[in-house]
Copies of this chain bind each other. A is one copy, B any other.
Amino acid sequence: VETIEDVGEFGLIRRVRARLPESGPALLLGSGDDGAVIAAPDRRVVASTDLLLEGRHFRRDWSSAYDVGRKAAAQNFADIAAMGAVPTALLVALVLPGDLPVSWVEELADGFAAECEVAGASVAGGDMVRGEVITVSATALGDLQGRDPVRRDGARPGDVLAVAGRLGWSAVGLAYLESNVPRSQLERLTAGDFIKAHRSPTPPYAAGPQAADLGATSMLDISDGLLADLGHVAEASGVRVDVRTGLLDLSAVHSPVYALTGGEDHALAATFPPGTSLPPAWRTIGVVHEGSPSVTVDGEPWSGPSGFNHFGVSGQ
C-alpha cells in the first residue's frame, strides 16, 4: 500500500488537489498560493471552526475516510447555516500519520468535495503535517446575502421552538455500532440508516437562511444534543425553553432520550415569533417561556442523561 511517507508532502498535496474542483461559485482563487480568495458579496463573512480527532470523534473501523470528510465539512457548514448564511468555502488542516495510505487521504478529500457540492461551497485551501493521531481541523466560511445574523440571544417568551433536520439518529447509530452486533448483520437491519447518520450527518443547510428570512429570533446548530444546546439559547436569551415530547418525531428513534440528548446530527433549532407560518422543513417542538434561564421537558427539569461533553466534565 502506498503511504504518505512514500509520496512526501508535496506529492500528497498534488494527489489531494487532483481530487478537488479547481473552481467553485465563490472561489476566486483556490489553493496553491499563500491564501485563497473567496467572494464575500455581503461585505461580511461568517466563519466557524471545528475539529475531529481519530478515536474521539471517529474510528477508522467504523467510518470510511469519505464519511469523515463529509462529517467534518457538514458540521462546519451547519454552523454557517445556523447563523442564517450560505456556506461558501472550507479550509482544512490535517494531521496525518506517515504510514497512512494515500488512498485514505484521497477518499477524505472526496468526502470534503462531496459535502461542499451539497452545501454549494468549495474547498479553498489547507495544510498537512505529519503526526501520530489523525486530526481534521476544518474552517467554514459563509455569506449572509444581506440577512442579519441570527444569534442565540433573541428568543422571547411566547416564541415557538422549532427544529429542522434529524434528532437522535446519529446517537442511535453509535449505540448500534457500540453494541458489538457483527457489522455484516447491522448493515442489513434498519440500523443501516442510523449508522449512516452517525458516519456522516445531513444538516438541513437551506433551512438556516430560510429561518432567518422568516424572522427567527434565535437559532443554533444541534451538535452536543438538543437539551444541551438549547441551554445556550436559554442562557443567552434569559428565558425558559420548554420542549414538548409529544411534538417530537419519535417514529424513527424509538426513545425520546435519543432525540433529546443525542448529538452530532447537526439539526438546526430556532425560535420564531408566535404565529409565524412555518414551512415543511421546520417542525414545532416547543415554546419559549418567561423564567430563569433553563430548558425543561414537558414543563419539568430533565432528569435523564445529559448531552455529550468533549472534556467529560459537566460545564453546563
Interface 1/0s, chain A 302-316, versus B by CB < 8 A?
000000011111111
A34 near B127 (CB under 8 angstroms)?
no
A50 near B93 (CB under 8 angstroms)?
yes
B128 near A91 (CB under 8 angstroms)?
no
Closest B residue to A138 by beta carbon equals B93
Q: How many copies of this protein are present in the complex?
A: 2
In the complex, 22 of the A-B residue pairs with CB atoms within 8 angstroms, ordered by the A residue number, are: A8-B314, A9-B315, A10-B315, A10-B316, A11-B313, A11-B315, A32-B236, A33-B152, A33-B220, A34-B79, A34-B152, A35-B79, A35-B149, A37-B44, A37-B46, A49-B139, A51-B127, A53-B95, A91-B139, A93-B137, A133-B133, A139-B139
Q: Which of B6, B33, B37, B49 makes the CB contact (< 8 A) with A45?
A: B37
Tell me, in angstroms, the Cα distance from A9 to B56 when the chains sit together: 15
Closest B residue to A79 by beta carbon equals B34
Q: Is A243 an interface residue (CB 8 A)?
A: no
Q: Is A98 an interface residue (CB 8 A)?
A: yes
B131 near A49 (CB under 8 angstroms)?
no
A56 near B93 (CB under 8 angstroms)?
no
Q: Which of B34, B36, B95, B144 makes the CB contact (< 8 A) with A135?
A: B95
Max chain B CB contacts within 10 Å: which of A13, A91, A137, A315? A137
B135 near A29 (CB under 8 angstroms)?
no
Q: Which of B35, B132, B310, B315 makes the CB contact (< 8 A) with A47?
A: B35
A56: B residues at CB distance < 8 A: 129-131
A227: B residues at CB distance < 8 A: none
Taking the closest CB of chain B, its distance from the CB of A217, in whole angstroms, is 14
A107: B residues at CB distance < 8 A: none
B29 near A151 (CB under 8 angstroms)?
yes
Closest B residue to A82 by beta carbon equals B34
Q: Is A141 an interface residue (CB 8 A)?
A: yes
Interface 1/0s, chain A 116-145, versus B by CB < 8 A?
000000001111111111010101111010
Q: Is A83 an interface residue (CB 8 A)?
A: yes
Taking the closest CB of chain B, its distance from the CB of A20, in whole angstroms, is 15
A309: B residues at CB distance < 8 A: 8-10
- With A93-B51, A310-B9 given, is the CB distance from A40 to B40 under 8 Å? yes
Further contacts, 17 of them, CB under 8 A, given A35-B85, A48-B125, A53-B131: A8-B309, A9-B309, A10-B316, A33-B220, A34-B48, A34-B79, A34-B80, A40-B42, A45-B45, A47-B89, A47-B139, A47-B141, A49-B137, A51-B127, A56-B130, A93-B93, A131-B135
A311 near B89 (CB under 8 angstroms)?
no
- With A43-B40, A139-B139 given, is the CB distance from A50 to B8 under 8 Å? no
A82: B residues at CB distance < 8 A: 34-35
Interface 1/0s, chain A 91-120, versus B by CB < 8 A?
111110010000000000000000000000
Q: Is A172 an interface residue (CB 8 A)?
A: no
Q: Is A18 an interface residue (CB 8 A)?
A: no
Q: Is A281 an interface residue (CB 8 A)?
A: no
Closest B residue to A50 by beta carbon equals B127
